[in-house]
Structure formats: C-alpha cells, structure tokens
Chains A and B, each alone.
Chain A
Amino acid sequence: MSTTTARHQQTDPQAGATEGTEPPARPWTLVAGREIRVKLTDRNFLLSTLFTVGLIAAIFGIQAFFFNLSSAPEYRVAVTDPDAVAVVEQAGASMGADPFGGSTEEATVTAVQVEDEAAGRELVAAEEADVVLTREGGTWTVGADGDPPASLAGALQEAVRGQVMTDNAAAAGTTLGELMAGTEVAFVDYASADDSEGELVVFVAGLLFGMLFYVASLLFGLSIAQSVVEEKQSRIVEILTAAIPVRQLLAGKVLGNTALALGQMVLLVAVGLVGLSFTAYDAFLPMLAEPLLWYLPFFVAGFIALACIWAAAGAMASRSEDLQTTTMPLTLGLVVVYIVAQGLDGTWSVVGSYVPVMSTFLMPIRLLEGEALWWEPVLSLAVTLAFCWMTVRFGARLYRRALLQTQGRITFRQALSLGE
C-alpha cells in the first residue's frame, strides 16, 4: 500500500510536497472555526447582538440619567459662623453615609462662607444657595425661601443637636456618649431577614440568569440544528464525513457554537455590569461576583449538555422544514424547565439547583442569596457534567445514525433503532 501511495505522490505533477498527504491534526478546530466565521459574518446575527447590547445600554442609560437627575442632589448652605461649617460638614456626612438606610440618596452638602445674614439671603434669592445657617446668641436659625428641602433640614437639625449636646455635656462634666447610652432603639423586620432591595436584586438576577441561558440555548441550539440540516440537505455532509470522522464534525459544531454563545453571554453580562455600576445599585456588584463566576461553568456545561441533542435533532430532519418537528421536544423541554425553575422555592429550589440544566440558573441564585454552602455548587456542577457526558454520548449516537439517512424525517425512536 505504501509503495503505491508514494508513487501517486511522486508522479502527481500538481501535488505539493506536503499538501493533502496527512489528515489535519485537529479537524474539529477547522469545523469550529467555520461555524464561528459564518456566524460572525451573518448580518442577522450581528444586528440582533448589537440591538440587544444597545437595549441593555439604553435601559441602564435611562436609569442612570434619572438617578443623577433626581437622587443625587447638591445642597449649598450659606454660613456666617466658622462653627457652622463644622455643622454643615456633619450634616453632609450623615446624608451621604448610608445608601441603604431607607434612602438611596448620596447628597453632597457644601458650606459657602458669607459676610452676614443679608449676604446669605441674597445668595438664596439668586438660587446660589439653598438655605442660610446662622447663630444668634445661643440660637441656630435656618432661613430659606419657603420650606427648606426636608432632608437637608432634617440633617442640619440633627447636626446642630449633636453639636450643642456635645457642648452641653462637656459643660455638665460628662460626655455625649454617656448621656445617650441606651437611648438607641433597634428595629427588626420579621417579614424579611434581608432588605427589600437585596431581594429585588436577587429576583432580577435570577430572572436574567435564567433568561440568558434560555435564550442562548434556544437560539444557538436552533442554529446548531439548522447548520446540521443545511449540511444534510445539500449533501455536503457526505463530503465532510468522508474527509473527517463524524465525531470531529460534531465536536467542531458544538464547541464552535458554545464559544459563540459564551462570547455573546459574556458581552451582554459585561454591558449589564458596566451599566449597573452607573446606577444606585452599584453597591451590589461585589455580591454578584461569586455567583457570576459560578454561572460561567454552569452555563457552558448546561449548553454543551443540550448542544449534542440539538445537533441530533438537526440530523433527524431531512429538510429545514422538518426542524420545527424534530426540535419540538427540546424547545418545549426548555420552556418547561425555565418556567418550573422560576416557580420553585424553599426545599424545591434546593432540589432544583441539583437538576442539570435547571441548576445553571438556580445554583447561582442560591449563591446570590447566600444560602448555598461552598460544596454545593461543586457537587451540582459535577452532576451537570455527568449528565453532559451522557447527553453528549446519546446525542452523538443519534447524530451519527441519522446524519446519512436521506429518506425523510426520522423520529427519536427510529434514530435509536437505526444501524450505522
């Protein structure tokens, strides 16, 4: 055999020295490369991705705009007394201190030194200051046109009280701390251990985790099935499988589309996180970090687990018109998983966070809620990987058997009983 092969090459005038003599080392990389290239030059794909990115940016842009407009006021306080500057600083510190304390405001308060009260009034009249803070004898006065801004008035009052009480305490030979000891009342909300905004973030993140996976799995899954049936319909699949093993073809398709899905997901999440950092919810970013890091491997494992079945569904169709029928069990299954997962709570959500595919978004949510112990995502990911291993084998078998069948659409049952 080798002698003849050698002769063919020596005498073939067009054969380059090394051209086409050895099969490519990793043909799946060529297949994956083609899948990615075709998708990245597909106008529809680019436009829809750009549109989604634009939509997310717009949502956060609008949020940030209103946030800056309405909830980060800047107050200017005209003062005549150097002591008043300290009061104003104290008021400013208390207003910007705790964004979770019932208010998301991060107000800034600046003191403007003026000659006397009259000069302060002029500033207020010119709308260059909001209020005038003066002290006549032992009395502090806040002057404004009409009612002063409520939060500013409250903060100033608080600051004055603190200042005066500190002085009075010192005069009485004690300290403010001693006087105030035991006067604080602690409040407990029995309805929820967490604060409501934290809950909202968990809810929205859960919805998005689920939605991102659902959409990616559906869109890229369909795209895998379509690409398979396209090859089958045009019979190029015979040329491809004659050139490289079916395994390699499937691996290239699945991994190429996984890379695309992951890339798109990371892009959307990145845009979302950047957007979030411009809003009042930026304080939640650190708490999202760990769940997001876990979301990545779950996303990839969950995606690959389904990808081979999508490919098999594509192989079972003989024309693209059949796809709707052969992919039905998958699309339906995904919808059910998504809806069921959104409705789970308590023990059931713990159970769900170990169910492959469902765990992709339930486990990151439990991490976000701080409920899951460190080994739980590890175990759940291992379960998903085991499931992935099974579906890849199952899907690859169906794919291999159905791929070269050209006599119309075949069912899952038929595909399983087919010979090779």
Chain B
Amino acid sequence: MLQVDAVTRRFGDITAVDEVSFDVPDGQMVGFVGGNGAGKTTTMRMVMKLLAKDGGEVRWDGEPVTTDLCSRFGYMPEERGLYPKQPVLDQLVYLGRLHGMSAAGAQRRATELLERFGLGDRLRAKVETLSLGNQQRGQIIAAVLGHPVALILDEPFSGLDPAAVDQMSQLLREHTATGVPVLFSSHQLDLVDRLCDSIVVLHRGRVVANGTSASLRSTGPLRYRVSLGGDAGWVRGMPGLQVLDVDGSTAVVQPEDEQAAQLLLGEAVRRGPVHDFSRIVPTLSEIYREVAA
C-alpha cells in the first residue's frame, strides 16, 4: 500500500501542496481529482521523488519510499514524453532496461504490448510520426513495461478516444488485479467515477474530499424529487422539510431526516397518484463543485 502522509511543498511564498494525506491500497485504483494548479502534479512528483518534500512522508507498506523502490514504480509524467526522433520500440526497450529488464525481455514485452494496442506495424516508426493518441499509448506502455509494483500516472487518459480509454483502463485493471496500487489524476470526473475504487479531491493544495464514489456522493444533503398527478403546491405545508423548488406537479424538497421524507410520501399517496418519488444523489461533478468552491 502506498501512503502519502502530510506531504507539503512550498514554492517561494506559495504552498503548492499543504499536508496532503491519502492512501492508495493494494489492488485499488485511486483517482486524483482537482482543478488546474490544485497540486496534483506536484504531489505525484514528490511521490516519485522527482521533487523534494518540505514536509511529510511517502511510505510503502509502512516504510519510507527509497530511491531504489521508486525506480520500480511505473510513472507517466503529465506532458507526454518520449524521444521524438527515435523509433518507439527502441526507446521502450531502453526504458525497460533502465528499470532493470534484460534487452531481450524488454524487447519481447514492449513488442507484445505495442501489438496489443494496434501499433504492431509501427514498431520502427519515429515517435514524432505517431498520432498523439498513439504516442500516449506508447507512454502508458512505458509506465507498465518494467513490471511496476505501483503505478503513478499523471493525466493518462487525456486526449484518448473512448475506445482507447477502454483499452487502457483494461490494462490498468490487469495490474490492479495482481495487487498493484494505481494512482492517476484526471480532469474527467465521469471517467474517474467509472474507473476508480476511490477518489481524492485536491483543491488549492489541500485534500478536500477523500473516499469511494458512493460515500462521497452520500455526503450530500438528503434531497427528494416528487412528481404527482396534481399540483404539488401543498408540499409547502408539510412539517420538517425545506421546499427548494415547486414547478407545477413536481417539487424538489430537502427533508430534515428520512422520517420527514416518509411522512411526505404517505401524504402524497393519500392525496392522489405519485409518479415519482426519488432520492437525488449528487453527481461527482456536483460534489466536486461543492467541495472546491
């Protein structure tokens, strides 16, 4: 398990990352969410020891992460980086060898992954001649090539089409299935919601929300939507709830508790047909907007 504990980084007077703490448990995918300048990249760079920390610690199974261990993490930096003028296979082999693979082993594994992602006929192509999506596939392959014990991926999905996103998330799932913890950052909240086991929301260098998608969404206030056969104006008279909106036969209410909600439902049924009585679960975007406000 990867643990980030009260990690802090200052640039001059600005505290870019302020006592950020969260866990990436074994075999789980954790989404790292936050606006531009929230401190995601800075945090990930500190995890990778690319940037010194002003405070806090990153631990791996309870022990501080060493440089040697760090070299066993798979890492993908924010801006896609491979040598533009070198063939894609060559540099994947080079990167694999830097991670301690044998030349033959790296060659075999890189070829296999490139073929799997439809780049089998572009093995000798220079990276700069590949499309951006394909360059990014190369990048993700570079991150997983050396059989990493953990994956730290900065915006791995930005710029990929939905099919490629599926391919790549499948690849990441294969790694979490073997127990590898994966931390990745993204602006695409729906994607994070779909893929991740848990989410860490960063805002202005601080963790403002942290948990599973369901638990985060349940932190929102209790709200119900009521859709009736007749006019819904009478809900204003019900005790223990706040009416947020009434529009003809539909109303949105915020009951104080579940009991008040059930009271409302009973009254509605007594008065006539009820087409809809449903709990409003906020989307992740709404939660995000709320915590990052």
Q: A: which residues have CB within 8 A of B?
A: 1, 3-5, 7-9, 11-16, 18-24, 27, 30-31, 34, 38, 230-231, 234-245, 404, 419-420
Q: Which 7 A-B residue pairings sit nearest by Cβ, starting from the closest?
A: A235-B81, A236-B81, A20-B146, A238-B77, A1-B61, A234-B81, A20-B147
- CB within 8 A of A404: which of B50, B76, B96, B109? B50
CB distance from B3 to the nearest CB of A (A): 12
Which of B26, B80, B86, B143: most chain A CB closer than 10 A?
B86
Which of B73, B102, B178: most chain A CB closer than 10 A?
B178
CB distance from B103 to the nearest CB of A (A): 10
Given contacts A23-B68, A242-B70, A419-B52, 19 further A-B contacts (CB under 8 A): A1-B63, A14-B147, A19-B109, A19-B147, A20-B101, A20-B147, A21-B72, A23-B71, A231-B81, A231-B83, A234-B83, A234-B84, A235-B77, A236-B81, A239-B76, A239-B81, A239-B95, A241-B50, A404-B45
Residues of B near A234 (CB, < 8 A) are: 79-84
Q: Is the CB of A8 within 8 A of B149?
A: yes
- CB within 8 A of A30: which of B76, B97, B149? B97
B49 within 8 A of A: yes
> Taking A20-B96, A30-B94 as contacts, is the C-beta distance between A4 and B101 under 8 angstroms?
no
How distant is the Cα of A15 from the Cα of B50 in the complex, in angstroms? 26
B179 within 8 A of A: yes
B38-93 residues at the A interface, CB under 8 angstroms: 45, 48-52, 60-63, 67-68, 70-73, 75-84, 86, 91
Residues of B near A244 (CB, < 8 A) are: 71, 98
Q: Is the CB of A242 within 8 A of B49?
A: yes
Of the A-B pairs whose beta carbons lie under 8 Å apart in the complex, a sample of 27, sorted by A's number, is A3-B61, A4-B1, A4-B179, A7-B179, A8-B149, A12-B175, A14-B109, A19-B146, A20-B96, A20-B147, A22-B100, A23-B99, A27-B98, A30-B97, A30-B98, A230-B84, A234-B79, A234-B80, A234-B83, A239-B81, A239-B142, A242-B50, A242-B71, A242-B75, A243-B99, A243-B146, A404-B45
> Taking A19-B105, A22-B100, A419-B52 as contacts, is the C-beta distance between A237 and B81 under 8 angstroms?
yes
Q: Is the CB of B147 within 8 A of A9?
A: yes
B180 within 8 A of A: yes
Q: Is the CB of A11 within 8 A of B71?
A: no
Q: Majority SS of interface residues in chain B?
A: loop
Q: B: which residues have CB within 8 A of A?
A: 1, 26, 45, 48-52, 60-63, 67-68, 70-73, 75-84, 86, 91, 94-102, 105, 109, 142-143, 145-149, 175, 178-180
Q: Look across to chain B and name the residue whose beta carbon is closest to the beta carbon of A34.
A: B94
Which of B51, B102, B179: most chain A CB closer than 10 A?
B179
Q: Is the CB of A242 within 8 A of B62?
A: no
- CB within 8 A of A21: which of B95, B97, B100, B179? B100
Residues of B near A8 (CB, < 8 A) are: 149, 178-180
How distant is the Cα of A231 from the Cα of B85 in the complex, in angstroms? 11
How distant is the Cα of A244 from the Cα of B95 in the complex, in angstroms? 10
Q: Is the CB of B100 within 8 A of A235?
A: no
CB distance from A292 to the nearest CB of B (A): 36
> Taking A4-B179, A30-B98 as contacts, is the C-beta distance between A239 and B61 under 8 angstroms?
no
Q: Is the CB of A5 within 8 A of B149?
A: yes
Residues of B near A243 (CB, < 8 A) are: 71, 95, 98-99, 146
Q: Is the CB of A11 within 8 A of B81?
A: no
Residues of B near A404 (CB, < 8 A) are: 45, 50-51
Q: Is the CB of A238 within 8 A of B50?
A: yes
Residues of B near A245 (CB, < 8 A) are: 67
Residues of A near B80 (CB, < 8 A) are: 234-235
CB distance from B148 to the nearest CB of A (A): 8
Residues of A near B70 (CB, < 8 A) are: 242
How distant is the Cα of A342 from the Cα of B77 in the complex, in angstroms? 49
Residues of B near A231 (CB, < 8 A) are: 81, 83
CB distance from B262 to the nearest CB of A (A): 47
How distant is the Cα of A200 from the Cα of B149 in the complex, in angstroms? 66
Residues of B near A1 (CB, < 8 A) are: 60-63
Q: Is the CB of B50 within 8 A of A230?
A: no
Residues of A near B62 (CB, < 8 A) are: 1
Q: Is the CB of B83 within 8 A of A236?
A: yes
Q: Is the CB of A240 within 8 A of B178?
A: no
> Taking A234-B81, A235-B78 as contacts, is the C-beta distance between A19 and B52 under 8 angstroms?
no
Residues of B near A238 (CB, < 8 A) are: 45, 48, 50, 75, 77, 81
Q: Is the CB of B95 within 8 A of A242?
A: no
CB distance from A2 to the nearest CB of B (A): 8
Q: Is the CB of B75 within 8 A of A20?
A: no
How distant is the Cα of A238 from the Cα of B101 in the complex, in angstroms? 19
Residues of A near B180 (CB, < 8 A) are: 8, 12
How distant is the Cα of A237 from the Cα of B98 in the complex, in angstroms? 12
How distant is the Cα of A244 from the Cα of B86 in the complex, in angstroms? 20
> Taking A235-B80, A239-B75 as contacts, is the C-beta distance between A19 and B95 under 8 angstroms?
no
Residues of A near B109 (CB, < 8 A) are: 14, 19
Which of A18, A19, A31, A242: most chain B CB closer than 10 A?
A242
CB distance from A372 to the nearest CB of B (A): 45
How distant is the Cα of A81 from the Cα of B102 in the complex, in angstroms? 83
Q: Look across to chain B and name the residue whose beta carbon is closest to the beta carbon of A233.
A: B81
Residues of A near B86 (CB, < 8 A) are: 38
How distant is the Cα of A4 from the Cα of B26 in the complex, in angstroms? 9
CB distance from A78 to the nearest CB of B (A): 71
Q: Look across to chain A and name the residue whose beta carbon is closest to the beta carbon of B96.
A: A20
Residues of A near B68 (CB, < 8 A) are: 23
Q: Is the CB of A235 within 8 A of B179?
A: no
Residues of A near B73 (CB, < 8 A) are: 242
How distant is the Cα of A238 from the Cα of B60 in the complex, in angstroms? 20
> Taking A23-B99, A24-B98, A30-B94 as contacts, is the C-beta distance between A230 and B83 under 8 angstroms?
yes
